[in-house]
Amino acid sequence: MPRRALLTITALVLALHWLVLGGIPLAWDTSPAPTAGKVFSTRSIALPPPPAAPVAAVAAVAAVAPAPVAAKPRPAPRPRPPARPTPQQTAAEAPSPAAPALPESPSEPDAAGASPVERATHDGDVSPVAQAEPVATAPAPAASAPGAPASVPEPAEPAAGVDIAAPGAGAGTPASTAPPPVRLPPSTRLAFDVNGQAKKFAYSARAELLWQHDGSRYEARQEISAFLVGTRAQRSAGAVTAQGLLPERFSDRARSEQAAHFDYTKGRVTFSANTPEAPAAPGVQDRLSVFIQLGALLAADPGRFVPGTRITLNTVSARSADRWTFTIEGPETLELPVGTTPTLKLQRLPRKDYDQKAELWVAPALGYLPVRIRLTQANGDYADLQLRTSSPP
């Protein structure tokens, strides 16, 4: 009997330990807690807006209502003075109701990352005063539908041609659009060490850039592979012309493949992702061939590309096209895994908040092929490729 009681007590103790241990959250069990806290915090944060809304509404009514109130019988509207304490305060708040006047504007952000409501609020293009007074003609076109296309900051399609601007040339100075000479590098296999960050996760990897051509056709392949990150491969193939590379197909493959197809007879670039077409402008390149083409321009006429020179050309990804401008930064000597290497640095700065920053170092001893490439995304993720070895293909 005592033995049976001891077993019963032991079982109860073990059950109690199991319940206590089961209540301790593990590392992968902590996600529900922030969610619950987040819901509670949003409920507490949501309290301030209701008092602010009536204030804005009263200010808007006070700004627009004085004229109609003056037209009505004087004894009736006198109970309203508590809503506007002083005439000076009412007059000071008259221009401010620009934001409350736009509830009908869409809240989707534009390409620059700002919503139409934010743009109208900051620019002051629309206000209840302007809508009430037809004399103010300047704000009216900004609010009307026909004026909307004129406010688009950038063209829907990139411009054509390759522009080469000398150092110090201003925006109004015409750039040289004549097809520049090129000198393609010999076929080469480049192996790189890669350090980078993906979704705040630092990684090391290996990459290879294989460049081949026979004088009439070319192919370039770049592949980056990393443990736990995966593999990403890009391929560009096309024709070799007197102006350099003429891409015909560019593909980008990670989990799945997307591609851009160049149709020069129709002057269009189409995308397998069913995104809008882009023009196949003269000198257009893809995001892999552009590095080879830039080196070919520099190799043909090194004296022309002094620091500060800007090279602008259309660059196509697997989903869209954009106008890329590279600036010659100047010569730099790098300590790379392959050894000490004299280089020339080019840089492409982002034009928009979500643009990619590209830094490129080319080596004259290798026909101006890239020996270091650093690509930085808007969220801070980056990939830094540094040459380890070079050899024939």
Give strand pairing partners of 316. 286, 321
Q: Could you tell me the pTM of the whole model?
A: 0.60
What residues does 382 pair with on adjacent strands? 197, 376
The reported pLDDT for the residue numbered 77 is: 53
Q: Residue 66: pLDDT band by 50, 70, 90 thresholds?
A: very low
Mean pLDDT of 243-248: 96
- CB environment 77-107: b (16+ within 10 A), e (fewer): eeeeeeebeeeeebeebbeebbbebbeebee
Q: What is the mean pLDDT of the chain?
A: 72
Q: How far is CA 165 from CA 38, 308, 360, in A?
A: 52, 9, 19
- Determine the average pLDDT of the residues in 218-225: 95
pLDDT value at 120 more than 60: no
For position 152, what pLDDT does the model report?
A: 33
Other C-beta atoms lying within 10 Å of the C-beta of residue 174: 8
* Residue-level pLDDT at 12: 55
Averaged over 253-259, what is the pLDDT? Answer: 93
For residue 134, the model assigns a pLDDT of: 37
What is the reported pLDDT for 148?
Answer: 38
* C-beta of residue 308 within 8 angstroms of C-beta of residue 168: yes
Per-residue pLDDT at 327 exceeds 60 = yes
Identify the band that residue 212 occupies on the pLDDT scale cut at 50, 70 and 90: very high
Q: 281 phi and psi, to 5 degrees?
A: -75, 160
Distance of alpha carbon 62 from the chain centroid? 43
In the predicted model, what is the mean pLDDT of residues 203-230?
A: 92
Q: What is the SS3 assignment for 191? A: strand
Please report the pLDDT score of residue 248 as a whole number. 98
Distance CA 339, CA 366 (A): 14
Of 177 and 391, the one with more pLDDT: 391
Euclidean distance between CA atoms 373 and 389, whole angstroms = 15
280 phi/psi in degrees, rounded to 5? -90, 75
**Residue 87's pLDDT is what?**
45
For residue 365 the two structure tokens come to 């001893």
Answer yes or no: is pLDDT of 247 > 80. yes
Quick one: pLDDT at residue 105? 33
Cβ pair 389, 338 in contact under 8 A: yes
Residue 318, token pair as written in the block: 């697997």
For residue 121, what pLDDT band results from cuts at 50, 70 and 90? very low
Nearest by Cα to 215 from 183, 251, 193, 170: 183
Which one has a higher pLDDT value, 263 or 20? 263
- 235-240 mean pLDDT: 98
Please report where in the chains the tokens 């077409």 appear, as a residue: 277
Q: Is pLDDT of 382 > 60?
A: yes
Average pLDDT of the residues in 119-142? 35
pLDDT band at 299 (very low <50, low <70, confident <90, very high): very high
Asked whether the beta carbons of 224 and 232 are under 8 A apart, the reply is yes
Q: Please, which pLDDT band fits residue 82 given cuts at 50, 70 and 90?
A: low
Contact 345, 354 (CB under 8 A): no
> Whole-angstrom Cα distance, residue 296 to residue 289?
11
Tokens standing for 66? 């004085």
* 370 and 362 Cβ atoms separated by less than 8 Å: yes
pLDDT band at 255 (very low <50, low <70, confident <90, very high): confident
Query: Per-residue confidence at 78, pLDDT binned at 50, 70, 90?
Result: low
Instruction: List the alpha helices (DSSP H) in the chain.
Output: 2-22, 32-45, 49-64, 66-71, 87-92, 116-123, 128-132, 139-143, 289-300
Output the pLDDT for position 128. Answer: 31
At 68, the amino acid letter reads P
pLDDT over 60 at 141, yes or no: no
Q: Which of 85-99, 344-358, 362-376: highest mean pLDDT?
A: 362-376
pLDDT at 65 over 80: no
pLDDT-derived band at 90 (thresholds 50, 70, 90) equals: very low
Strand partners, 192: 207, 387
Q: Given a cut of 50, is residue 136 above it in pLDDT?
A: no
**Where are the strands (E) in the chain, listed by range?**
163-165, 188-198, 201-213, 217-226, 230-241, 244-253, 257-263, 268-271, 278-279, 285-286, 310-316, 321-336, 339-348, 357-363, 369-376, 382-391
Comparing 138 with 299, the larger pLDDT belongs to: 299
Q: Looking at the predicted structure, is the pLDDT value of residue 306 above 90?
A: yes
Q: Which of 346, 348, 288, 279 is nearest to 314 (CA)?
A: 279
Are 308 and 330 in contact, with CB atoms under 8 Å apart? no
pLDDT at 283: 92
Domain residue spans in the chain? 83-103+119-148, 163-169+177-391
Each residue of 142-188: pLDDT tens digit? 443 444 333 333 334 445 689 999 998 876 677 766 778 999 999 99
- Domain 163-169+177-391 fold is outer membrane lipoprotein receptor (LolB), chain A (2.50.20)
pLDDT category at 200 given cuts 50, 70, 90 is: confident
Reported as a pLDDT band with limits 50, 70 and 90, residue 372 is very high
